[in-house]
């Protein structure tokens, strides 16, 4: 899993600056694996949109690399259609992520974790599953002290 995250973040940090809307955002985004709720709440809406575009592109790119290098384990791990939610806009994800980070206890959670939670919520995961996701994300964020 660590290799997947490194690959995703490497691609993400190299491609997202193409979408960046400000110099400050470019500086932050070069450390994409460290972006959490503290950063998210300070982004302008356009910067949030750029971030999600880049995250989506990185995940698609990683899935392609895994597929073409015949890495079945990686393909299975990332081909769960992370951003494949019919009828959901990036605007909806931004609003949900804003709501997620409105709880100060979630602010240390990296954005990719927040997006995972939001997508699970959109897919109709039961409340107890969503609670477990949040608790796990908080625990991991505290361990990493991002």
Q: Tell me the whole-structure pTM to 2 decimals.
A: 0.68
Query: What CA–CA distance (Å, rounded) separates 133 from 113?
Result: 9
Report residue 125 CA to chain centroid gap. Answer: 18
Using 50, 70 and 90 to split pLDDT, how confident is the model at 20? very low
Nearest to 98 by CA among 27, 44, 25, 34: 44
Number of folded domains that form the chain? 1
pLDDT given for residue 10 in this prediction: 46
* Residue bearing tokens 């608790």: 135
State the number of CA atoms in the 13 A half-sphere of 129 facing the CB.
11
For residues 123-131, give the mean pLDDT.
92
Tens of pLDDT, residues 30-88 = 455 578 999 999 999 999 998 888 877 776 666 665 555 655 554 444 445 555 666 78
- 41: containing domain: 2-144
Q: Tokens for 57, please give them.
A: 């592109």
């Amino acid at each position: 899993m660590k290799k997947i995250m490194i690959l995703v973040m490497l691609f993400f940090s190299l491609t997202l600056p193409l979408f960046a809307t400000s110099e400050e955002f470019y500086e932050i985004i070069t450390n994409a694996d460290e972006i959490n709720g503290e950063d998210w709440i300070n982004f302008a809406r356009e910067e949030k949109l750029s971030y999600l575009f880049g995250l989506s592109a990185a995940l698609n790119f990683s899935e392609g690399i895994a597929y073409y290098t015949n890495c079945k384990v990686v393909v299975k791990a990332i081909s769960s259609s992370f951003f494949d939610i019919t009828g959901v806009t990036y605007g909806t994800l931004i609003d949900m992520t804003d709501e997620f980070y409105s709880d100060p206890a979630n602010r240390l959670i990296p954005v990719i974790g927040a997006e995972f939670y939001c997508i699970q919520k959109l897919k109709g995961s039961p409340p107890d599953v969503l609670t477990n996701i949040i608790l796990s994300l908080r625990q991991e964020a505290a361990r990493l002290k991002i």
